[in-house]
Structure 1
């Protein structure tokens, strides 16, 4: 009889491509992964892993068994969802991820509501960029992710996942109080062609969006500073070193010396929740989605 936890370890190795990646995804040590795989190889009587330079690769037998493991684990997840749904109680554990401003703006009210309404549910959270959150849901490492895309640059959601819109976030342009456009009621992006920009780090979806959007306005952006944390971005703007896009979701207090001006042609971030199709049968997933939608609606009403 094949051991389910060892099949789970093999599946993680196949998905992550390394012992360290599998260990991180399973929240265990690398030695625990190696021990589980050694036991699984003894169970099946074949080598499942082979050296590949400094790393490892799956043998033909390993790939074959990994394919079966993925299907078996999918069926186990479906069975667990059906059992939860039949029982109808919001219990157990759920892992929720969100990009930084959504984590700051949505996690506090969502976690507070779930703790009050469903004390038997343990919620764990991760702060992840949208692409990483969606990949985690697709791999089965995360139950539900809060992700985003922009009205002029969509983030594809792979098949097998379901998404629901939570809210639209309308960012402003943040600039130093002494900027020539600081007292304007609205601005156009083209007016910042000669300014230096503070951006999200290269490789992140929002950085790619910013470059794409500014180029579509007819100029090559002068990106001087790459900063992941929005409060740090605003601190740089307060110091007079450039301008940036400042989302309203999770914004918090704005430093002295910073002016926020709307863009005439509205920029919109679409914030949504994503989960594996069928997982909404789990009461815990339904309860978390409901809490996210309630928190998003209250934020939208407060900013209207």
Structure 2
């Protein structure tokens, strides 16, 4: 009997072309990918992988099984969607993630409304950064993920995902109250060329966006501090340790000692929800998307 999770690992390898690519997409270690594929080879009774330079390639048997794996995984998702649609009820379990400010700004309202309107639906939520949420949806650990684009830098989405808008979230710059520009009505990013920035973690999508945006304005950023959570960033601003980008969603209350000022070049995050196309007919998916959009309208 072929194991479904091992077929999912093979599918990821076929899609991404390498063990490291599959590991990143599935958010597991390369060692775990190799172990899953070795077990799948034993189950299949044939070699599925061959060495290719420093990496691996699929054998003929591996490509054949990968093609079947794609169809099998799609059929499993369709079966679940059809069962829910046939029942016609918003019921069962729904697993959803959001990055921290969206979880704080959207989940309380959206999930409370879902519980009241659909008592047979059990929602399980967690905070994950956008890339992790997308990976969770791709590998089937999550049903939905709330993620984001920046106005000038889209978030890449793998094939097979569907998305719907939730809200557009404007962002200001947060300054210490004693900052030389704190009394301004608006600020150009270029005026902050000499300031230290408080940003997200190295390699995170939002950090890469900030670097790209500042450099496009002729600013080579000086990074003073890194923090994943926006309220931690604002606390560092309050202590006079730098400036940061402060989106509106989930921002309040702003700490004492922090002033937020609009930017001349309008900075907006496009917040949206993603799910697998194969799950599109599930009533629970449609109900959750609607609930998030309603919460987004109220938050906006």
Moved more, 117-126 or 235-244: 117-126
User: After the TM superposition, which residues 164-175 of structure 1 pair with which residues of structure 2 at under 5 Å, given as runs?
Assistant: 164-175=164-175
Contact 2:11 2:70 in 1 (8 A): no
Q: Secondary structure at the match of 2:179?
A: coil
Contact 2:27 2:135 in 1 (8 A): no
Moved more, 196-205 or 128-137: 128-137
User: After the TM superposition, which residues 19-168 of structure 1 pair with which residues of structure 2 at under 5 Å, given as runs?
Assistant: 44-46=44-46, 61=61, 64-168=64-168
- Give CA-to-partner distance per residue, 1:57-82, whole Å, 9 cap, x none: 98764554343233112112112212
**What runs of 5+ residues in structure 2 fail to find an aligned partner?**
14-18
Establish whether residue 215 from structure 1 lines up as the match of residue 223 from structure 2. no
- Give CA-to-partner distance per residue, 1:140-191, whole Å, 9 cap, x none: 3321111111111122333322211111111111111110111112111111
Compute the displacement of 1:254 (Å): 1.3
Corresponding residue number in structure 2 for 1:284: 284
Q: Secondary structure at the match of 1:124?
A: strand
Distance 2:252 2:51 in 1: 50
Establish whether residue 11 from structure 1 lines up as the match of residue 5 from structure 2. no
Query: Number of matched residues?
Result: 286
Change in Cα spacing, 1:65 to 1:79, as seen in structure 2 (3 Å) is same
Distance 1:259 1:163 in 2: 34
Corresponding residue number in structure 1 for 2:178: 178
Distance 1:133 1:48 in 2: 29
Distance 2:220 2:42 in 1: 59
Contact 1:175 1:182 in 2 (8 A): yes
Q: Secondary structure at the match of 1:268?
A: strand
Distance 1:278 1:57 in 2: 28
- TM-score normalised by length of structure 1: 0.83
Establish whether residue 241 from structure 1 lines up as the match of residue 241 from structure 2. yes
Change in Cα spacing, 1:196 to 1:45, as seen in structure 2 (3 Å) is closer
- TM-score normalised by length of structure 2: 0.84
Distance 2:245 2:228 in 1: 12
Distance 2:222 2:246 in 1: 17
